[in-house]
A and B are shown apart, each in its own frame.
Chain A
Amino acid sequence: MTEAAVTDIRPLAAVLVSAVTVVLILASHRYPNVRESWSVLAALTKFGIIASMVPGVLDGTEYQASLGEFVFDIEFSLRADALGMVFALLASFLWIFTAFYAAGYMRGLSEHNQTRFFAAFAASLSTAVGVAFAENLLTIFVFYELLSVATYPLVAHDETEEARTAGRKYLAYTFFGGGLLVLAGTALVFAMAGTTEFGQTAADLADANTALARAAFGLLAAGFGVKAALMPAHSWLPDAMVAPTPVSGLLHAVAVVKSGVFGIARLVLEVYNPELVGELGVGIVLAIVAAVTLTVASIIALRADRLKRRLAYSTISQLSYIVLGLGLAGPAAVAGAGLENVIRGGLLHIPAHAFMKLTLFFCAGIIHVETHTDYISEMDGIGKRMPLTMAAFAVAAAGMAGIPLVAGFVSKWFILIGAVEASQSVFAVVLLISGVLNIAYFWPIVYGAFFESHDSADSKPLVEGPFGGHLADGEPVPDGGDETAHEEGHHGGPGPGGWDRVGWTGGEGSWLMLGPILAIATGAVVLGVVPFEAVFLDLIESVVQGVAA
């Protein structure tokens, strides 16, 4: 990594843009239009700043901005390098669409406390970019914690008992992961290496006490793993779906969870390095955890009836693809083969999954706004009512399952061949099984939406027939015990005459929401058809080159 480091204000500016926006949003709380334009403006500015650094980063320049010494021997500093760029570019690019979508969503539902919502949203983005550009473990921890704080108001937004419980769980999990484990791991690394700067610690860690080096890796991986929703620390994510859908979409499928994954990427590639991870034997453990998570989460997703919940479990499973790719980097480096492919595949899945999952969540959100339908069992025939939405949904779902021509295929392909090259074929098998499961839980939605109608739907044995049967006169509870809301406050589903038929011209909902959905779905296809034309793979290539060198 002999890239030239240049002092530049832009990484800092990229973080601060949305932080300043928070103040502006709070200040203009009386004027919703002004308030929303701040969001959009900030999103565009942020993306502009970050995009302006892309050419330089591709040429091997690193932009640095330091705020001076934060604690003894550790600077509070930001650095835009290729890996950070992947995440920052992704988050800020998708924020543009989300800003529009969120405006449409929140107004469509006449939500309360919109100012707080938009302010917290901007703050979350600020910290997510901070995570991306952090130059050392402590700085990443700072933003990691702030991200938890900033997203908490979004999770608890509803102010219902359910939302409060979810918020409580969210804070407990993320502070356990962030506050306890990551901080302890950082302290251990600092004690062993005398620095926490990325790329500078591996040599010292290799010389350190093996048990301590393993412990530090374990602490950090577990800490980041909580946000990455690795099992068994995943259960906050499905609960956090109580948040408004733009939050579930951008934050709980992209920014927040990916900050955990991104942390693991930094950990495997730059705090340690793949060889060291392989030698310590921790890479394979990480890969196994990821493999178990992605299989089990897929199976649970099969049985979730609430659409957002199914998407959440799908997120858990997909995130583990990335972690699996990174975990396999260890064994691959030791085996001397497949290293580049697993890393490439793992990292590429970060943007690929983001585009696809955001599309899916946006679809779920627009369905909720327009028809107040949250449950898959009520969505039969909804393709008539929302054709464009469900088409986008189908494309993204296909990508999730790894069907070629959509983004998900490319990344999974790289992981797959990498796993085989590294003689870890068992993980390749896991990947294939999971692909089948993906189809199994997404296909019924698409099929039901387009080819069935409400009164003549096939039975859905997995959802309607819980293990062990159900009480004789009780209503079926499709998704475990927490679906009481289904009975009480529910007013979704088709009207008495079935779904209205709406044409393919966009009459199905507000363009504030429909536009972003289509744009992002297009992005997912672009990423799948011509991956080398989209900038992400170039950035990832330069990361891979750096690691391989």
Chain B
Amino acid sequence: MTEELLPVLLIVVPILGATLPLVLGLFRERVGWAVAAGTLSVEAAVATWLGYAVYIGDQRVVHVLGGETFGRKEVTVGEFDTEGFIVGIELVADALSGLLVVLVALVALAVLAYARRAGPRRNAFYSAYLLLTGGLMGLVLTGDLFNLFVFLEIVGLMTYALVASDRSGASAVAALKYLIIGTTGASMYLVGVGYLFVRTGTLNMVDVSRVLAGEPAWVENALYSEPLVVASFGFIAVGLATKAAIFPLHTWQPDAYSESPDSVTVLISALVSTTAAYALARITWVVFSPDFFAANPRTVELLLAIAAVSVVAGSLLAAMQRRVKRVFAYSSVAQFGLIVMAVGTAVHPAAGDQATQFAVYGVVVHLIGHAVIKGGLFAAIGALNSSAGARYVREYAGLAKQRPFLSGSLAVLGFSLIGVPPAVGFVGKWYIGLAAVEAELWPLVFVVFASTLLTLLYVARLLEKLYFTPLAAETDTEPRPAVAADGGGSVSYGMVALAVLAAVLAVGLGFAGAELTDAVQPLVEAIQESSPEVHP
């Protein structure tokens, strides 16, 4: 049963790897990239192995840290004995987290190809990069609510450091803003976890879920309607929504995306908010379960309302931006609004089995699809910035002729973001919309389908500049700076390749939508049956 070690390896490898650039840096300069590439190659191999075990081998790979000493034990609570409560921290790779593990590992490796030319090249940068990957892995794999907080903060810390890694004043301000808001959000999450802990006496997701459902003998009924539990959901949702940059808690995100070095933007836009949204989905679906929302329909309605507002507000704000990076930063606000909307739809009391199924599909496909699309978009934007010095929408005039591949990728990715089929952006939106239709939540149906037009607002504006505005038409354009701020200055094949690869993937994944959804079928069944564990 060697598979059980894989989740640990996934977290430990990058964290150990992170120490190497610092140590080796004493002897040689610029050893960071090589170390990171080696480490992340191992990481990707391990992640693929784990993915294979989970999806092909139909396993639910669980590792309890310190498994010999701890593990599921009989615990005496008062005069009752409770079977199988966990002592120790569980790492779980199941149908949901498996996908994210693979995504994180592959994206982290791919962005490295981009960072070789574009990124800050100091060794410390690669240490932080590896630590961030390790943190993301932990965030995805952990089955423990408090451990999730720790990884959330590790991810946060490393992101703050990476955002500021080009040592400019502007990025420091952005990072500090992110730090303050992000930490507040994480602390909110911790308060929620504290409330749950007080009521259930455990931190393990599965056990918390069981106690909430009233399974052990020492709780008389399900605890769903207790104010403490409802409040804890509120705190957790607010905390994770902050991390996922849902309107109106998104204010850190545009600054952080637009001020950080290009390679960092690619990485965090593809992964950081994605994992936060994943955590929200997991806790909403598996820990609180649909029964909680059946008892408290208002909570899910509120969640859906906020998500819907996020979609509309994010898109409109994106359309108003002049800096390209900010356009797509706000676009993330809208897209995560869509995802949270589907998270809520899946557990809405009005949702039948079909609606739940489609909503779960929607979340999974759109999470992964959005990561690919947004990462690719920022890669293309970054490469255009460092090669042609274009940072503002108006500076994109006529660039298509000079940079056909980057512009082409940008166009393909932009259209998949809008949801033009058969790209993956469409598949996700289709499921989210279909779920809303099945659940007969008509206002949501409207928002989902209108989001196509809203996305068109800002994508078309950019493409029009890129392709259909001759350079001469923009007389007010100042001469472009020849060299990018972080000293990249030119475009490597790796940078272009990443953008093109993302564009190809965005279309290819659209056709693989059926495979993705088959993979998460166990998750769908678990939610439909309100089961806390996702068994294949």
Direct A/B contact, Cβ within 8 angstroms: yes
Residue of A nearest to B408 (CB): A26
> What B residues does A71 contact at CB under 8 A?
427, 430-431, 513-514, 517
Query: Given that A71-B431, A187-B434 are known contacts, is A159 also in contact with B415, CB under 8 Å in the complex?
Result: no
Query: Given that A67-B511, A179-B418, A190-B434 are known contacts, is A164 also in contact with B427, CB under 8 Å in the complex?
Result: no
9-residue interface stretch from A165-173, A391-399, A404-412, A446-454: A165-173
C-alpha gap A294/B438 in the complex (Å): 38
> What A residues does B55 contact at CB under 8 A?
none
B498-519 interface mask toward A, CB cutoff 8 Å, 1 = contact, 0 = none? 0000000000001101100100
CB distance from A182 to the nearest CB of B (A): 10
Query: Given that A171-B456, A183-B449 are known contacts, is A76 also in contact with B422, CB under 8 Å in the complex?
Result: yes
* Docked-complex contact B420 and A146, CB < 8 angstroms: yes
Query: Given that A67-B511, A145-B421, A179-B449 are known contacts, is A187 also in contact with B430, CB under 8 Å in the complex?
Result: yes
Q: Does B453 contact A (CB under 8 A)?
A: yes
Q: Does B487 contact A (CB under 8 A)?
A: no
Residue of A nearest to B397 (CB): A159
* Docked-complex contact A188 and B358, CB < 8 angstroms: no
Q: Which of A89-147 contact B (CB under 8 A)?
A: 116, 138, 141-142, 145-146
Query: Given that A70-B511, A70-B513, A171-B456 are known contacts, is A164 also in contact with B464, CB under 8 Å in the complex?
Result: yes
Q: Does A403 contact B (CB under 8 A)?
A: no
> What B residues does A163 contact at CB under 8 A?
468
Q: Does A175 contact B (CB under 8 A)?
A: yes
> What A residues does B437 contact at CB under 8 A?
184, 187-188, 190-191
* Docked-complex contact B514 and A72, CB < 8 angstroms: yes
A218-250 interface mask toward B, CB cutoff 8 Å, 1 = contact, 0 = none? 000000000000000000000000000000000
* Docked-complex contact B456 and A72, CB < 8 angstroms: no
A42-74 interface mask toward B, CB cutoff 8 Å, 1 = contact, 0 = none? 000000000000000000000000011111100
Q: Which of A162-218 contact B (CB under 8 A)?
A: 163-164, 167-168, 171-172, 175-176, 179-180, 183-184, 187-188, 190-191
Question: Which bracket fits the contact residues of A?
Answer: 20 to 34
* Docked-complex contact A149 and B420, CB < 8 angstroms: yes
* Docked-complex contact B422 and A183, CB < 8 angstroms: no
> What B residues does A188 contact at CB under 8 A?
437
C-alpha gap A171/B420 in the complex (Å): 12
Q: Does A312 contact B (CB under 8 A)?
A: no
C-alpha gap A179/B455 in the complex (Å): 11
Q: Does B460 contact A (CB under 8 A)?
A: yes
Q: Does A274 contact B (CB under 8 A)?
A: no
Q: Does B314 contact A (CB under 8 A)?
A: no
C-alpha gap A308/B434 in the complex (Å): 41
> What B residues does A68 contact at CB under 8 A?
511, 514
Q: Does B257 contact A (CB under 8 A)?
A: no
Query: Given that A76-B511, A184-B449 are known contacts, is A153 also in contact with B456, CB under 8 Å in the complex?
Result: no
Q: Does A291 contact B (CB under 8 A)?
A: no
> What B residues does A70 contact at CB under 8 A?
422, 427, 510-511, 513-514
Q: Does A324 contact B (CB under 8 A)?
A: no
Other-chain contact of B469, A69, A145, A164 (Cβ < 8 Å): A164
> What A residues does B510 contact at CB under 8 A?
70
* Docked-complex contact B449 and A145, CB < 8 angstroms: no
> What A residues does B456 contact at CB under 8 A?
171-172, 175, 179
Residue of B nearest to A180 (CB): B449
Q: Which of B27-81 contact A (CB under 8 A)?
A: none
Residue of A nearest to B510 (CB): A70
CB distance from B346 to the nearest CB of A (A): 14
Q: Does B389 contact A (CB under 8 A)?
A: no
Q: Does B445 contact A (CB under 8 A)?
A: yes
> What B residues does A180 contact at CB under 8 A?
449-450, 452-453
B396-428 interface mask toward A, CB cutoff 8 Å, 1 = contact, 0 = none? 000000000000000000010011111000110
> What B residues does A183 contact at CB under 8 A?
430, 433, 449, 452
Q: Does A86 contact B (CB under 8 A)?
A: no
Q: Does B470 contact A (CB under 8 A)?
A: yes
A343-384 interface mask toward B, CB cutoff 8 Å, 1 = contact, 0 = none? 000000000000000000000000000000000000000000
C-alpha gap A146/B420 in the complex (Å): 7
C-alpha gap A142/B426 in the complex (Å): 9
Query: Given that A71-B514, A72-B358, A175-B418 are known contacts, is A191 also in contact with B434, CB under 8 Å in the complex?
Result: yes
Other-chain contact of B433, A164, A171, A176, A184 (Cβ < 8 Å): A184
- Between B421, B431, B433, B453, the greatest number of chain A beta carbons within 10 A of the residue's beta carbon is seen for B421
Q: Does B361 contact A (CB under 8 A)?
A: yes
C-alpha gap A149/B51 in the complex (Å): 36
> What A residues does B415 contact at CB under 8 A?
149
* Docked-complex contact B513 and A156, CB < 8 angstroms: no
> What A residues does B467 contact at CB under 8 A?
116, 153, 156
- Give 19 A-B pairs besides A142-B422, A184-B445, A187-B445 with Cβ atoms closer than 8 angstroms: A69-B514, A70-B427, A70-B514, A71-B430, A71-B431, A72-B358, A72-B361, A142-B421, A142-B426, A145-B421, A149-B415, A153-B467, A153-B468, A157-B468, A167-B464, A168-B460, A175-B452, A176-B453, A191-B434
Pick 12 A–B contacts, CB within 8 A, sort by A: A68-B511, A71-B427, A71-B513, A72-B357, A138-B421, A168-B464, A172-B456, A176-B453, A180-B449, A184-B445, A187-B434, A187-B437
Chain A: residues with CB nearer than 8 A to chain B? 67-72, 76, 116, 138, 141-142, 145-146, 149, 153, 156-157, 159, 163-164, 167-168, 171-172, 175-176, 179-180, 183-184, 187-188, 190-191
Chain B: residues with CB nearer than 8 A to chain A? 357-358, 361, 415, 418-422, 426-427, 430-431, 433-434, 437-438, 445, 449-450, 452-453, 456, 460, 464, 467-470, 473, 510-511, 513-514, 517
